[in-house]
Structure 1
Amino acid sequence: MSARPWRGQLVQAQRSGWLTRPQVASESLLAGTCLYFVAICNVGFWQAAVHDGASPGLLASLCVAIFALHAFLFGFVAIGRALRPVLATLIVVTAIATFYMRHYAVLFDVEMILNVLHTDPAESRELLSPWLVLHVLLQAGPPLLVLAWVRVRPRPLRQAIAARAVFLGAMALLATIAVLLSSQGMFALMRSDHALRYRITPGNLVVSTVRALTEAPEPPPGQRLPIAADAARVSRPPGEKPRLLVLVVGETVRAQNWGLNGYARQTTPQLAQRDIVNFSDVQACGTSTEVSLPCMFSLQGRAHYDKAAIRAHESLLDVVARSGVDVRWRDNQSGCKGVCDGTGIEHTQASDAPALCEGDRCLDDILLTGLRERIDATPGDLMIVLHQLGNHGPNYFERYPAAYETFKPACHTAELSRCTPAQIANAYDNAIGYTDAFLARALDLVQQQQGHDAALLYVSDHGESLGEYGLYLHGAPYAIAPSQQLHVPMIAWVSSGLAADMDLDMRCLRARSGAPLSHDNLFHSVLGVFGVRTKAYAPDLDLFAPCRRTVALE
């Protein structure tokens, strides 16, 4: 059959006007896109503003201000041939962001953007799902079709520059008027809810990404500024065994669900039967691995937190290694975030223990593979850091073998919104149960070796939200983070030989296990374990120091 009649009908339809692509000015297309952002992509922001008591007049001013500020900001980059690509990219990225903001209450501040930029492929794949694709198609599809359908009216260069300048001036004036009309209410609203500004999309993405990308680059390991340059180990009596510290850095375990802390469920049954000290009041340096890991191994800590200074200086591991201790970092996660750059890292590989791995992910027991041999092969003082995958979400159900699914039914999807709160908690608690068993096996291994006086210390890097206050996962800005993301578990075991060498009263340590502690104690406690003397050492931050029968290190 000939296609000519159809062509004729198409030409006739185009002549009649109903198939004619409308022609608009670039500023109109930009303004329409920004209206779409305000009306469709900021539902979470408007809900939060209403919840915070914003009046109708304040909401109207916010609407105008957010529209004008977005149009002004994007007006500098959505120019000429870049207009459609820039707007299309913003539409798609915004749709992706709103999915995670809606389903996990994620806030895209600088730290969250850094988490996204530094995530590994395995983590990224876990966060992809058919529901994300469906959400993006439904939210971004219609505006993308409009963007592709309309034609941009061509203009001479001078006229285009003049029109854009007028547009930018008008948007700046409009934003200024809107802010001035309700400035008192706006500033009061932002002060009362610090997270509100991070809900304004896509402005939150653009501003946070620019700030993240313009941060000073992390210096190479050899160019980090030294700390505790005077560090040296205290001489010990001849014949004394070398010391071993196995430091387990947990992932995303919160103190609230830690069985040893009095949780309604016994999520730590094996540790409950061990001769360990459980520290019940420990505060994390941050709410994400990107922040907490460098912070907890730094001299600054949270008390003197300075991100740039932490990145520019050596870590605890450098100080310990320089004092003569063999330092090893074993990783089953996304790296050490610069902490071990000066001492090296051993990444787990599926080939090391295929039965423990599926795809790019391995169960934490792989960290124990070859560990006994590593300890036996080291005649001197040794510090081994085991960096767990732990309870990294949202795929809690993939963090433990099926045999550890004690609490049922458990959530078996990364789409937490499809599970009940009880199912999410079941999967999360099952993952803690596996960490409990992993720590018990690590402790057995340490206790069985004969060549060292040993200690094992475990602390999680940050906690996790499981729906409290509408929040999921972690990474909330520290100033407004809930206790679920900041309160973490910590335990210690010290052999009788090491306790004697340190002149440590274990009964005293148990009696003080409820004292307030934080990640800031880690730096000085590790120096204390190895008897490292330095002016940087602070006895009041060494969790073992108050229970030494002799005077602490100076």
Structure 2
Amino acid sequence: MPHAVKTFRPALGAGSVLLLVVAYLVVALNARFWGVVFDTTGLAGLHGAKVVAAVAAALFALTLLMLLPLSLRWTFRPGLAVVLLLSAAAAFFIGDYGAVIDRHALASVYATDAREAGEWLSLRMLAFIAAFGALPAALLWWVRIDWRSAPRELWSRLKLSALAFALLAVAAGVAGKDVASLLRNRMELRHIANPFALLAANLSYLDHARDADRPFVRIGTDARRGDVLVPSKRPVVLVLAIGESLRAASLDLNGYTRDTDVDLHPLPIVNFGRVDSCGTNTATSLPCMFSDLGRAAYDDAEAKHRENLVDVIQRAGYEVLWIDNNTGSKGLAARAKELSAAEGADPSRCNADGCHDEVLVDRLKTLLPTIRRDTVIVVHLLGSHGPAYHARYPAGFAVFQPECRTNELQTCSDAQLRNTYDNSVLYTTHVLAEIVSLLGEPSALVNRMPIEALRCRARRGHAGAGACPEPDVSPTAAVDPGIDAAMLFVSDHGESLGENGLYLHGAPYAIAPDEQTHVPMLLWASDRFAARRRLDLDCVRRGADRPLSHDHFFHSVLALADVRTAARKPALDLFAGCAPSR
């Protein structure tokens, strides 16, 4: 009989395997962490080596303490395998996109939908997780664990705990002051220490998500319509257009070298050029701007159990409708009417990555003629949501070439990435102009300017643009939509396109670059609306360049809609002094 082939499987003690996993995590899955450390000035020579050794000891000790609870016999392999897979995924996003791991980032992850999550998938990501997560996890299951008696295993864990605390003590004693200074000056380190940042972010997220049974707080209970914008036979329609990932620096209105907002040029837009966002991701910024709390006092858990701008406007007598082409209202329209623009949309406007934002325009075309009472409509755009910027606009808006036709941004050049993002901005501003044209703006040339002229004009400053001929556009008579309307547009947050090695958004606010926090805000009002509201638009323009923030949104919308309530703060009203407030 042939002899059975024996398969060699090394046997190691559980403590030894645990130490190997910790060492692997610290060394192999913290490339960006160590890159930041080594890039820090003042760490040369023997002194620098001492500081780096102290950081390594501290990170090793913290990771060991974090994994010790998983070292029970029944949780050892499955628990460490999950840690390896999650840490590999975190390392990919930290390394390739310059992402950070905090509770705000996790809030975005937990609030995403299947379509949005699918956009992040790529062969590169799957290969990375397989090589740096799945393969080590497979090795963990392959190796034989030499389990000893319970008392001896307990003694082993106590010794490992003592080792961890000893390493922390040595690190603090040898270079504690230098490590503290390093963490203070390079604040991103605490959010990219893998997997420690994952644990800290999840604990912080759970802490903010608890207290589900806390009392629900009503605000603006005294809200009422003012004496200026009184109901009449012509309904008032106020459109609140909420953008996605649009940064102020990418608009010609704010000095950009490309006309990415060419469709807005003919319109009497008021541009608020110095607006800071409440957060750097949608899960934070969207509910924050609709809240009365303001960025300094904003808390996710409190906001979820508190009324918002939608509730106050409804209480004052407006009908409120939320039309969404993004990931939903995040509960903001829970007590109003919310519908998805993608449902029943024209198939030609949609693809595997979702629907283009003109589905919102299609909905408005159908809806506006049916309005008979004063209404506030929130349109939530998909805008420039990354990483699949190329999926955000139709082929006709691929003005800037070459494009980045993938969600694997690291495979594209900086020029390709910027071209594709700018194309998405060009399309977003086109959609805004289309909305304004539906609301009754007679000077809007939307859908009447030939696409060739649009492309040429948008490429100002782009290589090979040249002079653009004037479009042969015949004036058309303005169509009165029978409503008195205004539109206020603001983006939820900005976007990084590789500046300082950062991509996308979601950086901790304290260290977030301007590209992620400086957002556009635009106002358009019809002549009839301005007259009824007695709104001096020239007065508004004169103050449009002062420093502003999302904190102004709640109070300014109430002012624009002429809603009187003690919850409205005049100091945060964009229109104070330019329209009657009493």
What is the TM-score when the length of structure 1 is the normalising length? 0.93
| Paired AA for residue 493 in structure 2 | H
Instruction: Give CA deviations for 1:320-373 in whole Å, capped at 9, x if unaligned.
Output: 001110001011111112221221311123532211111350011111223233
Q: Which residue of 2 aligns with 1:193?
A: 186
Report the 3-state secondary structure (helix = DSSP H, G, I; strand = E; otherwise coil) of the residue aligned with 1:545: coil
Q: Which residue of 2 aligns with 1:295?
A: 288
* Contact 1:252 1:463 (C-alpha < 8 Å) held by counterparts: yes
* Contact 1:350 1:360 (C-alpha < 8 Å) held by counterparts: no
Tell me whether 1:39 sits opposite 2:27 in the alignment.
yes
Q: Which residue of 2 aligns with 1:261?
A: 254
- Taking a change above 3 Å as real, the CA distance of residues 223 and 361 of structure 1, as seen in their structure-2 partners, is farther
Q: Which residue of 2 aligns with 1:436?
A: 429
* Contact 2:438 2:481 (C-alpha < 8 Å) held by counterparts: no
Tell me whether 1:104 sits opposite 2:97 in the alignment.
yes
Deviation at 1:303, TM superposition (A): 4.2
Across the aligned residues of Structure 1 and Structure 2, the Cα RMSD in angstroms comes to 1.8
| Paired AA for residue 546 in structure 1 | G
What is the TM-score when the length of structure 2 is the normalising length? 0.89
Correspondent of 1:464 among 495, 505, 508: 495
| Paired AA for residue 158 in structure 2 | A
Q: Which residue of 1 aligns with 2:263?
A: 270
Correspondent of 1:495 among 526, 529, 537: 526
CA–CA separation in structure 1 for the residues paired with 2:567 and 2:299: 17
Count residues in correspondence.
Answer: 538
Q: Which residue of 2 aligns with 1:49?
A: 37
Deviation at 1:219, TM superposition (A): 5.1
Tell me whether 1:228 sits opposite 2:220 in the alignment.
yes
CA–CA separation in structure 2 for the residues paired with 1:197 and 1:243: 49
Instruction: Give CA deviations for 1:366-413 in whole Å, capped at 9, x if unaligned.
Output: 112232332332321100000000000011011000100000001111
My pick for the range that moved more, 62-71 or 120-129, is 62-71
Deviation at 1:495, TM superposition (A): 1.2
My pick for the range that moved more, 362-371 or 431-440, is 362-371
- Taking a change above 3 Å as real, the CA distance of residues 142 and 240 of structure 1, as seen in their structure-2 partners, is closer
Correspondent of 2:551 among 498, 514, 520: 520
| Paired AA for residue 31 in structure 2 | V
Pairwise mapping of residues 33-432 of structure 1 onto structure 2 (< 5 A)? 33-53=21-41, 54=43, 55-217=48-210, 224-235=216-227, 239=232, 241-359=234-352, 361-432=354-425
My pick for the range that moved more, 49-58 or 237-246, is 237-246
Instruction: Give CA deviations for 1:255-313 in whole Å, capped at 9, x if unaligned.
Output: 10112212100001110111221211111111100110011001112243333332321
* Contact 1:218 1:312 (C-alpha < 8 Å) held by counterparts: no
- Taking a change above 3 Å as real, the CA distance of residues 218 and 283 of structure 1, as seen in their structure-2 partners, is farther
Query: Mind listing any 5+ residue stretches in structure 2 that lack a counterpart?
Result: 441-478
Instruction: Give CA deviations for 1:228-281 in whole Å, capped at 9, x if unaligned.
Output: 111111245674633210110000000101122121000011101112212111
- Taking a change above 3 Å as real, the CA distance of residues 303 and 95 of structure 1, as seen in their structure-2 partners, is closer
Q: Percent identity?
A: 38
* Contact 1:284 1:519 (C-alpha < 8 Å) held by counterparts: yes
My pick for the range that moved more, 68-77 or 462-471, is 68-77
Query: Mind listing any 5+ residue stretches in structure 1 that lack a counterpart?
Result: none
Report the 3-state secondary structure (helix = DSSP H, G, I; strand = E; otherwise coil) of the residue aligned with 1:369: helix
CA–CA separation in structure 2 for the residues paired with 1:346 and 1:503: 33
* Contact 2:353 2:391 (C-alpha < 8 Å) held by counterparts: no
Report the 3-state secondary structure (helix = DSSP H, G, I; strand = E; otherwise coil) of the residue aligned with 2:297: coil
Tell me whether 1:27 sits opposite 2:15 in the alignment.
yes
Report the 3-state secondary structure (helix = DSSP H, G, I; strand = E; otherwise coil) of the residue aligned with 2:295: coil
Deviation at 1:217, TM superposition (A): 4.1
Report the 3-state secondary structure (helix = DSSP H, G, I; strand = E; otherwise coil) of the residue aligned with 2:265: helix
Deviation at 1:216, TM superposition (A): 3.2
Q: Which residue of 2 aligns with 1:506?
A: 537
My pick for the range that moved more, 507-516 or 202-211, is 507-516
Deviation at 1:446, TM superposition (A): 0.9
| Paired AA for residue 514 in structure 2 | S
Deviation at 1:20, TM superposition (A): 3.0
| Paired AA for residue 494 in structure 1 | A
| Paired AA for residue 566 in structure 2 | K
Q: Which residue of 2 aligns with 1:539?
A: 570
Report the 3-state secondary structure (helix = DSSP H, G, I; strand = E; otherwise coil) of the residue aligned with 2:69: coil
CA–CA separation in structure 1 for the residues paired with 2:560 and 2:34: 52
Deviation at 1:455, TM superposition (A): 0.3
Instruction: Give CA deviations for 1:185-216 in whole Å, capped at 9, x if unaligned.
Output: 11000011111111110111122112213433
- Taking a change above 3 Å as real, the CA distance of residues 165 and 532 of structure 1, as seen in their structure-2 partners, is same
- Taking a change above 3 Å as real, the CA distance of residues 530 and 219 of structure 1, as seen in their structure-2 partners, is farther
* Contact 2:54 2:174 (C-alpha < 8 Å) held by counterparts: yes
| Paired AA for residue 200 in structure 2 | V
CA–CA separation in structure 1 for the residues paired with 2:68 and 2:297: 40
CA–CA separation in structure 2 for the residues paired with 1:210 and 1:303: 21
CA–CA separation in structure 1 for the residues paired with 2:88 and 2:544: 47
